[in-house]
Structure formats: C-alpha cells, structure tokens
Structure 1
Amino acid sequence: MGDHFNLEISTSYGKTYTFFVKSMPTLLPNFESYINEIGTFTKETKLFQTLLEKLRKLSTNAWCPKSYYIYENDAIIMENLVRKGYQVMNHREYFTYQQFSAFIKTVAAFHSTTIIYEELTRKNSDFKNFRLIDKYRNLLEECGYPCDETHIRHKALVCNANAFVSNLKYLNNYKEGFDKQIWKELNNLPNRMKINRYRNVMNHGDLWCNNIMFSGNEGENLKCLLVDFQFARYACPSQDLMLAMYTTTNREFRTKYYDHFLEMYYNALGDELKTYSLNINELYPKNDFLQSCSEKRIVGILLAALYTVMVFYRSEDIDNVLSNADNFWPFNFGNKNEFVLNILKNDEHLRERFSEIYQDILEYVL
C-alpha cells in the first residue's frame, strides 16, 4: 500500500537506469493517516533495510525484488520488475497450474531462508533456541489482524465480516442457520493466526494475486517474485500457502491439486535446505507440515472470504471508492453491506467467488 513511481537516472556516459519507487501514500489524506496508524509502510522500509536483505542472500533462487536505497518512512527505491518483464495477473483471473507451480517454488525459497537463518544462528552462537522473532519482533508482529479489539484493523475485520455474512442469503447455495457461527469464526480469525507449536517462519502475510508477479512463458521458464511485505508476520508456512491457494485458485482447482501442491511445496522446501546441508525431516517433519496445513486451512478460507469483499471488484465498481476521500472510511471501517449487495446482483464473477468460499466455510462448519 503506497504511491508508485518510475525513476530514471541518466548518466553523462549516455546510460539510463530505471528503478521502481514505492513511497508513503499522500494522494488521499485519510489513507495516509490510516497507513501511519497501522505502521505498515514504516515496517516495510525497515524490513528492506534489514531482514529482507539478510534473508534474500540465503537462497540462490530469487523471491523478492532487490532494494537499492531506503528513505526511512518515506520511500523505497528498488529494481523495476516491470521493465524486467514481470507483471501482475488480472486480479479477477485464477492462476493456472504453471503459475501456481512457479509460486509454490518461490514461496518455498522464501520460507526456507528463515529456517536456514535460524539454524545457522543456533549453530554459530550460544542462542541454541534462537527464533527469528526473538531478534526482529518489532518487524514481525501481527499488524494485519491483531487481537486488540480497539485496533483500527479490527474495525476493518468487523466491517468486512459483516459485509460477507449479511449477503450470504442472496446466494443460490445459501443454508439457513449458520450465519452467526460464520460471523463468530471470522471475528475469531486473529486468535487462529497466532504463533503455534509448529515450525514458524517469516510469512509474507498478504499473498493474493496483486502481490505475486510473473515473468516468462507458461512452462519451465516461468518465474515468480513476491512483492509488498507490509503485513509480514512470524507464523507457520501453511498460513501463507492457504491464503494464496484460496485467493488465487477456484474450488475445482483446489479439489484436484490440493495434496499435489502441498507435496510440491514440501519437496521444494527440502531442496532449499539441502543447499546448507540441512535435513527437512529433522527440522520440519512432514507430518507436522501436513497437520499444520490441516489446521490452518480454515484460516485461508476465512481470509479469502474477507478478501472477497475487499479487493475482487471490477474497476468500474471500485475506482471511485478508492480515489474518493469521502468514501475511504465508510468502505473500510463502516457499513458497506448494501454496496456489496448491489455489485453482487450484476457481477457473476464476484457471486461465484462468494459462493465457492461460502461452500468451503460450510464444509468446515458442518
């Protein structure tokens, strides 16, 4: 979340260098105030200054853009991925098998760097139980879904939960008697996202299609990078996996490939650890990983439900809301139930997303 610019620097030798600049948002005062309150932009600048650069060097496979200069709390100058052929997919299209495969390998490389960093620290210091959050707690504390009910993000959670649940009765697959339970599950989401007994790593925290960029043709040459680390947290890897799976694929895809992609991820994670002579079976047993995925699956489903009423709109339906200061607070923290209903009536894609995620929740509740 921020303002985006291209920066071109021409030298006296006739060369031109192009960079991408992400700065603190200033076009909407309300939005700037919100970003300051939750601290996400400051968090990301500090991440690029410190932790991301350390972790990035621990993998031979790229998983995030390089940063070149940080103006703390103001701007990040990084490599221009668009000029290098990367692009964000249409946010209303689902990933293909090849795209999700590329994503799985990238996120495994990203997650592996935490385990590598922790294990190297334990080996080479007196901190035999070292965890990444012990050193970088201020950068990895939960800021997206805090348990504090007075936090502005909790107000956003309630707003989106109400918008989702209040419109379920208009779906063709609606079942009476579960609305209150679903609302309670959504409201309890922060508690489900706490650090648990399984192996934890730095999570991206916001893995939907707009934060996943691809380069190359479908197939072996397809590359993937992750961007926007403002909601980074320390949590089990499955939390990132489940969020991405339930926001970037449809039910048919998940039903067919769920187990396949968990296997692909675990193998890719193991391959990354092998480069440092680390044994995944000792550090993160497969049964622990699969059990974690089973427990965190509902987190991915519930987050996807919230994302459905936050980001998956047509441009013509949402652009005026996002660019108008008067609409910012009501849409994000007020009552947008009727706004969502009016769009649902005429947007087949949004109705399909709604219905599929609702069906996923029902299977959990029932």
Structure 2
Amino acid sequence: MPDNSTKFNPSIQLDIPKWINAKYFERILHKENVNFHKILKLTPIPATPPGENYTSIMMRIIMDIELKDGYTQQKSYIVKTMLDDDKGGTLINALNLFPKEKLMYERILPQLEQIYHELGKKVRFAPQCHWIEEKSSRITIVLEDLNTKKFRNINRLKGFDMPHMKRVLEKLAEFHAASVMWHEKYGAFPDEFQRYYLPANYQKSKSYQTRVQSYKTAMATWGLEDCEKYIERIPNAEQFVNAAMGCFNSDPNEFKVLNHGDFWSSNIMLNYTSSGDVNQIRFVDFQLCKWGSPAQDLWELIICSVVSNLRICEFDHFIRVYHTHLLKCLKILNYMKPLPKLYELHTSMLKYGYWGYSTTFTHLVLILLPSDKDASLLKLIQPGEEGDKFRHKAYTNPLYVRAVLDILPFLQRRGILDFQ
C-alpha cells in the first residue's frame, strides 16, 4: 500500500505564473464538456513535495465549476510548465526536455498504447493529456490528475518491496516491448531520442570537479572498508564523459528499446485493489526518453527505487522477472526477430554499467534526501560555501550512506568502477 509519510504541506510557497488563471482553463473545460458554464473557484497547489522536482513547475489546479444546468462539480488537473530563467530554467531548458515530452504525449504514447489496443489489449502507460500549448518559447502540458483515481507514489525514501517490483518490472517490459514494435512499424525514433546531452566543455566543468571533491571527502566518513580503493576509482570528468558516451551504440544487431530515461519511484504511480494489491500502474515525466539498451531503465529502477535490503541480493532476480515478461509481451505483439536472451541482458547490464554508477553518484543522492524546500539540482552542482554545505548534507545523509555501502562494493565486484 502507499505510504502516507510522504505527505507535505500544500500551502508551502509556490510561485504561480500570472497566466495560470480561470481564463486559461475555460478553454480546456469548454473543449472537454459542452455543458460547462463557468469556474467558481480556482486553487493552485504544489503537485510535488519540495526536493522532488528540479526541472519544471508542477502544479495541481483544483477548480469548482458550474454547469449550464446549474449543477456544480470539482475538477482537478496537473499542470507542468517550464522554469523561468532565474529559477534555473536557462540550464534545464537547454536540455530540450519539454519539446521531447510534448512529442511523447502528442504522438508517441498514444501510438504505443494503440499497438496493444489493435490486438484487443487494453493498455495504458500514462495519464491522459488534456492540453498542450507552445507559446512564447514556453511549453505547457495539462494532464489528468491521477490522484482523482486513487493513484499514489510510494515513499521514495523506502522504495519498492518485492511485490511492487514484480509489477513495476512487468509494466516496464510492456512499455519497452511496445516501443520495439513502434520502431518496427514507424522506423527510427526522432533524433532527440538518440542523443545524450552534456554541457559544452564538461571535461573542464568546475561543477563536476566540485562534486567529486565533496564526494571523496564524504566517502572518508562512511566507514567503507578499503575506502582509499574506492576513492581512487571515482572517475574524473573526462572518464565520466567517455563512459557516458560509450553508452550510445549504433550496433543494429543490439536489442534496443525506448527507455523512459528517468525511471524511479516518483515517476511511477500506482493504485490498489481493496485487498491492498497493486491494481494499475501509470508512468509520468517523459522528458528524458532515450532509444538504447534497456539497461538504462533497469539500472535506475533497481539502484534508486528498491528497498535497501533487496537492492543487491535480488538484483539478478529482478533482471529475470523483467526478461520473462519482456518475452511474453514481444510474443503477444508478434515480434518476428530473434528474442533477446537472458544472458544477453545480463551482458548488457555489465556493458552499460555506467548507468549504475552515474545514478548512484547523482540521482540517488537527491532521491534519498528527505523533503527539503532548499534542495535543488543547482545547489548540488554549484561551487562555493553554500554548495559545499548542501553537498555535505546530501552525501553524508544516513539513508544514502546505508545504500552506497552496498552499491559501491557490488559495482566494484562487477568491474563497473574500472573507469581508467
């Protein structure tokens, strides 16, 4: 069942763009319901707790509306829009995240679902998209509020237990299989799904060097056996970049899928049966989708979103669960090429083990940090005293230390820390 300990104060300060008002939503409501008359009340609140969203403004818009027959009802939407430049938008928007997500909701996600629908299988991967607007270089996406259908996130600080992981892995396999068939039907995914973005001159980036320095200082406090051995293996900027670029392989014979690209618990929403079992699953946040080995999504899910005592001991089991369901879905969808073998998937997890390290070094740090209104991606990478203080807090967070004491030896045993 979902854990309610992640609830937060909805009255926390949120900078609401001035254009988020009743007039904006009247167009959407008229489009949806011919009986719509007027909005009686509109209340915007944060859609995510502090420290859970770094790349956009996310709002839940709750409205009391009146219909032409005099009846009233409540409507709720999730609105996702771009950060202003002075809130980190310059860096984030340069990553081309919103144009990619716009394309996913407008075209690709409906087509992925249609691939199953044509075979009589009712499959949904994402919330319904009600409205997409691109205006003055700003993209805004208005989505179904899954909370109204009792979808929830689990507590990101705890992670998925085994029953949850089995269902999530099966849903991921279902999504990946559809993407394989999309590629067969429509050809290559657009260029933006095949590129990996790193800032210019990343090898000389002070932000990366600053993070590594803070990280190594924190490592000495973790109680890690043979600590110096691990400190020496933390990649410098050039090694990090080379490893990242090595994850993009144009080999036409390699099995590839459309990775979600940001596949962790807060982007996975679930609802439950009356007995407490997982019922339906939806994915959200399609800004980082990439065509490549499924190893990327698998590494991120297992590293970032599994309860700590299962992450390593059940690692190989998780890969088998995913593989078994992937083959089942590919057969249902009449995939005609050779099916990927389990050993090939394990080989791919080793080959693209960079995702395991980079996720541990970057994403897991923020995921395991308790909700903090001052947390930000910019603060994690900024040089100077304020950045050092935040990094020390994040890198010595007991939840993170507990996780990394298992993960780094595991990566070392599999040769994944051999960046030299």
Provide, for residues 67-122 of structure 1, a one-character-per-residue CA deviation record: whole Å limited to 9, x for no partner: 1221124211111111111112222112111111121011111111111112234x
**Aligned partner letter, 1:99:** H
1:107 to 168, 172, 178: 172
1:179 to 231, 236, 239: 231
Residue equivalent to 1:93: 158
Q: Which segment is superposed worse, 355-364 or 266-275?
A: 355-364
d(CA) in 2 for partners of 1:213, 1:236: 24
1:20 aligned onto 2:69: no
The 8 Å contact of residues 112 and 182 in structure 2, kept in 1 or not, is answered as yes
Q: Secondary structure at the match of 2:314?
A: helix
1:194 aligned onto 2:248: yes
The 8 Å contact of residues 86 and 213 in structure 1, kept in 2 or not, is answered as yes
Residue equivalent to 1:254: 311
d(CA) in 2 for partners of 1:329, 1:205: 20
Judged with a 3 Å threshold, the aligned counterparts in structure 2 of structure 1 residues 64 and 156 are, in CA distance, closer, same or farther, namely farther
Q: Secondary structure at the match of 1:309?
A: helix
The 8 Å contact of residues 158 and 187 in structure 1, kept in 2 or not, is answered as no
**Aligned partner letter, 1:19:** Y
1:69 aligned onto 2:153: no
For these two proteins, the number of residue pairs brought into alignment is 342
2:296 to 225, 235, 239: 239
The 8 Å contact of residues 308 and 403 in structure 2, kept in 1 or not, is answered as no
For structure 2, which runs of at least 5 residues remain unmatched after alignment?
A: 1-54, 117-121
**Aligned partner letter, 2:132:** I
**Aligned partner letter, 1:358:** L
d(CA) in 2 for partners of 1:228, 1:153: 30
Judged with a 3 Å threshold, the aligned counterparts in structure 2 of structure 1 residues 67 and 161 are, in CA distance, closer, same or farther, namely farther
d(CA) in 1 for partners of 2:103, 2:154: 28
Q: Secondary structure at the match of 2:347?
A: helix
d(CA) in 2 for partners of 1:92, 1:161: 24
Residue equivalent to 1:168: 219
The 8 Å contact of residues 60 and 79 in structure 2, kept in 1 or not, is answered as yes
d(CA) in 2 for partners of 1:153, 1:213: 39
The 8 Å contact of residues 209 and 248 in structure 1, kept in 2 or not, is answered as yes
Provide, for residues 4-57 of structure 1, a one-character-per-residue CA deviation record: whole Å limited to 9, x for no partner: 22344553243554322212234x723222222222123212322222222232
The 8 Å contact of residues 167 and 278 in structure 2, kept in 1 or not, is answered as no
The 8 Å contact of residues 6 and 19 in structure 1, kept in 2 or not, is answered as yes
Q: Secondary structure at the match of 2:220?
A: helix
Please report how far the alpha carbon of residue 262 of structure 1 lies from its aligned counterpart in structure 2 after TM superposition.
1.5
Please report how far the alpha carbon of residue 150 of structure 1 lies from its aligned counterpart in structure 2 after TM superposition.
2.7
Residue equivalent to 2:95: 38
**Aligned partner letter, 1:21:** V
Please report how far the alpha carbon of residue 277 of structure 1 lies from its aligned counterpart in structure 2 after TM superposition.
2.0
Residue equivalent to 1:339: 390
Residue equivalent to 1:118: 183
For structure 1, which runs of at least 5 residues remain unmatched after alignment?
A: 122-129, 323-327
Judged with a 3 Å threshold, the aligned counterparts in structure 2 of structure 1 residues 283 and 166 are, in CA distance, closer, same or farther, namely same
Judged with a 3 Å threshold, the aligned counterparts in structure 2 of structure 1 residues 222 and 104 are, in CA distance, closer, same or farther, namely same
The 8 Å contact of residues 216 and 222 in structure 1, kept in 2 or not, is answered as yes
Alignment of 1:129-278 (within 5 A): 130=187, 132-133=188-189, 136-143=190-197, 146=198, 149-150=200-201, 157-174=208-225, 175-184=227-236, 186-195=240-249, 197=251, 198-216=254-272, 220-250=277-307, 252-278=309-335
Residue equivalent to 2:60: 6
d(CA) in 1 for partners of 2:257, 2:267: 19
Between Structure 1 and Structure 2, whose CA radius of gyration is higher? 2
Percent identity over the alignment is 18
Q: Secondary structure at the match of 1:222?
A: strand
Alignment of 1:308-347 (within 5 A): 308-315=364-371, 318-322=372-376, 329-334=378-383, 336-342=387-393, 347=397
The 8 Å contact of residues 99 and 222 in structure 1, kept in 2 or not, is answered as no
**Aligned partner letter, 1:270:** L
d(CA) in 2 for partners of 1:279, 1:187: 36
In terms of fraction of residues, the more helix-rich structure is 1
Judged with a 3 Å threshold, the aligned counterparts in structure 2 of structure 1 residues 176 and 287 are, in CA distance, closer, same or farther, namely closer
1:306 aligned onto 2:355: no
d(CA) in 1 for partners of 2:151, 2:204: 31
Q: Secondary structure at the match of 1:176?
A: helix
Judged with a 3 Å threshold, the aligned counterparts in structure 2 of structure 1 residues 91 and 119 are, in CA distance, closer, same or farther, namely same
The 8 Å contact of residues 295 and 349 in structure 2, kept in 1 or not, is answered as yes
Q: Which segment is superposed worse, 35-44 or 207-216?
A: 35-44
Please report how far the alpha carbon of residue 203 of structure 1 lies from its aligned counterpart in structure 2 after TM superposition.
0.9
The 8 Å contact of residues 139 and 232 in structure 1, kept in 2 or not, is answered as yes
Please report how far the alpha carbon of residue 186 of structure 1 lies from its aligned counterpart in structure 2 after TM superposition.
4.1
The 8 Å contact of residues 195 and 235 in structure 1, kept in 2 or not, is answered as yes
The 8 Å contact of residues 38 and 152 in structure 1, kept in 2 or not, is answered as no
The 8 Å contact of residues 301 and 361 in structure 1, kept in 2 or not, is answered as yes
The TM-score with structure 2 as length reference comes to: 0.72
Residue equivalent to 2:50: none
Residue equivalent to 1:352: 402
The 8 Å contact of residues 55 and 114 in structure 1, kept in 2 or not, is answered as yes
The TM-score with structure 1 as length reference comes to: 0.82
